[in-house]
């Protein structure tokens, strides 16, 4: 029996906001929530249009009275139902994250929210405060942090296997904006509207992922940034390219290259981190491999496996045995499983598996928003900008 049912006597009940027809991430969230049988999706608002929302909710199998037309209605009704939801998952366009998450916390629900946390730093800091004062669980779906070999890398850095971290290189190279999609019949979409998407398309969409990955693996915050941010395509009004020089809290240096406009590129998220004793390199498109370079020794290519050779942190995030690939969808599911464990611990007062507590938080999300602000400040001033977050 899974640990949540054992402790609660039932699965956790989830309400989803966003992720209607045509959305990429909606089905990913719902599949992830169900993957380890810890959540059931019982309520939802799948569109900003009430009629479409109710129809889309029923189309994914929600009962008619729980396929709501508006998220305020969902929160108001679910908080007083005997069988009401335990948690809310937010996967709307970026500008929806703050109002929905904020109201969900006010209604006493734990929250799972997609990135970027918010579209402004002020809202991000308010959420950090509210999560702290409420004691509720808040999981931000920087899903790449839950790949087994990423957890392995973090554990190796923490154990000192690389020595003192000196250099970090991060990249996320995509190609879906390499042509002017904004001129096509479907129109530019919310990502091209700063009110809905935030101040920088590329930094909000994938820069926050790369930044979080770097901090997660190294355990180090970025404290200063020097940025070249802009567009590759003539006439484009949003950022599709950012090259950032980074300084980390321990004095390590680094860089981050993120773009959605590299023709032919797919989902090229990668990191390299070097300490004074060796380095690690990981590529999302080959997620089961982690390259470990060692000072004075041959490099070794580590492969995800479930036979005791990986650390407990990586085994915790892994499901199938040697040679069977695991990737994006499973990592997403690991965040849901871990959030479920933390929520069940809160509800029952019983401690959860400490390995389940390594999911990204509202504070991690606020650091990502601060990085965006600092990069845009650096673009304006042409100098280094501070991105320390005092909270």
Ligand X SMILES: NC(=O)c1ccc[n+]([C@@H]2O[C@H](COP(=O)([O-])OP(=O)(O)OC[C@H]3O[C@@H](n4cnc5c(N)ncnc54)[C@H](O)[C@@H]3O)[C@@H](O)[C@H]2O)c1
Minimum distance, C-beta of residue 144 to ligand X, in the bound complex (Å) = 8
Q: For residues 7 and 304, is the Cβ–Cβ distance under 8 A?
A: no
Which C-beta is closer to ligand X: that of 13 or that of 209? 209
C-alpha–C-alpha distance, residues 316 and 215, integer Å: 20
Which C-beta is closer to ligand X: that of 84 or that of 207? 207
Minimum distance, C-beta of residue 92 to ligand X, in the bound complex (Å) = 4
Which C-beta is closer to ligand X: that of 187 or that of 299? 187
Strands (E), the chain: 12-18, 39-45, 87-91, 110-113, 138-140, 165-173, 222-230, 241-248, 253-259, 268-275, 278-283, 289-294, 300-303, 385-386
Minimum distance, C-beta of residue 176 to ligand X, in the bound complex (Å) = 11
b/e burial code for range 85-119 (CB count within 10 A of at least 16 → b): bbbbbbbbbbbbbbbbbbbbbebebbbbbbbbbbb
Minimum distance, C-beta of residue 210 to ligand X, in the bound complex (Å) = 12
Minimum distance, C-beta of residue 31 to ligand X, in the bound complex (Å) = 13
Minimum distance, C-beta of residue 17 to ligand X, in the bound complex (Å) = 5
C-alpha–C-alpha distance, residues 262 and 270, integer Å: 15
Minimum distance, C-beta of residue 258 to ligand X, in the bound complex (Å) = 14
Between the alpha carbon of residue 284 and those of residues 11, 210, 271, the distances in Å are 31, 11, 9
C-alpha–C-alpha distance, residues 221 and 180, integer Å: 35
Angle between helices 97-106 and 121-134 (to 10 degrees): 20
Which C-beta is closer to ligand X: that of 24 or that of 298? 24
Which C-beta is closer to ligand X: that of 141 or that of 288? 141
Minimum distance, C-beta of residue 13 to ligand X, in the bound complex (Å) = 18
Q: Which residues contact 19 (CB under 8 A, 6 or more apart)?
A: 25, 26, 27, 29, 30, 44, 46, 91
Q: For residues 290 and 180, is the Cβ–Cβ distance under 8 A?
A: no
Which C-beta is closer to ligand X: that of 12 or that of 46? 46
C-alpha–C-alpha distance, residues 327 and 320, integer Å: 11
Which C-beta is closer to ligand X: that of 45 or that of 156? 45
Q: For residues 311 and 124, is the Cβ–Cβ distance under 8 A?
A: no
Which C-beta is closer to ligand X: that of 139 or that of 363? 139
Residues that bind ligand X (CB under 6 A): 17-20, 22-26, 45-48, 71, 91-94, 96, 114-115, 141, 143, 190, 205
């Amino acid at each position: 029996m899974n640990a949540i049912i054992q402790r609660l006597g039932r699965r956790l009940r989830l309400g989803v906001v966003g992720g209607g027809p045509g959305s990429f991430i909606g089905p990913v969230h719902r599949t992830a929530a169900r993957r380890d049988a810890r959540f059931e999706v019982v309520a939802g608002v799948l569109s900003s249009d009430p009629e479409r929302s109710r129809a889309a909710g029923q189309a994914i199998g929600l009962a008619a009275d729980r396929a709501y037309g508006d998220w305020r209605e969902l929160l108001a009704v679910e908080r007083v139902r005997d069988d009401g939801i335990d948690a809310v998952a937010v996967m709307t366009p970026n500008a929806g994250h703050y109002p929905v998450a904020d109201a969900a916390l006010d209604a006493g629900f734990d929250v799972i929210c997609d990135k970027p946390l918010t579209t402004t730093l002020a809202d991000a800091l308010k959420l950090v405060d509210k999560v702290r004062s409420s004691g509720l669980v808040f999981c931000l779906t920087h899903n790449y942090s839950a790949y087994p070999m990423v957890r392995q890398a973090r554990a190796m850095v923490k154990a000192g296997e690389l020595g003192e971290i000196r250099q970090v290189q991060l990249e996320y190279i995509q190609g879906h904006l390499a042509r002017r999609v904004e001129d096509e019949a479907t129109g530019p979409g919310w990502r091209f509207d700063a009110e809905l998407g935030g101040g920088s398309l590329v930094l909000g969409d994938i820069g926050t992922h790369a930044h979080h990955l770097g901090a997660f693996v190294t355990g180090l915050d970025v404290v200063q940034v020097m940025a070249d941010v802009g567009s590759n395509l003539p006439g484009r009004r949003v950022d599709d390219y950012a090259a950032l020089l980074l300084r980390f809290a321990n004095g390590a240096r680094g860089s981050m290259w993120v773009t959605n406009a590299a023709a032919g590129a797919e989902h090229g998220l990668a990191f390299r981190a070097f300490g004074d004793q060796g380095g690690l390199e990981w590529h999302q498109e080959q997620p089961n491999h982690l390259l470990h370079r060692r000072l004075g020794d041959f490099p070794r290519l580590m492969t995800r496996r479930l036979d005791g050779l990986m650390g407990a942190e990586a085994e915790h995030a892994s499901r199938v045995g040697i040679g069977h690939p695991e990737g994006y969808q499973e990592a997403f599911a690991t965040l849901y499983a871990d959030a479920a464990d933390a929520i069940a611990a809160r509800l029952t007062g019983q401690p959860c598996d400490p390995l389940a507590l390594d999911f990204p938080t509202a504070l991690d999300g606020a650091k990502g928003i601060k990085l965006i602000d600092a990069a845009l400040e650096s673009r304006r001033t042409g100098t280094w900008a501070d991105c320390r977050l005092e909270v």
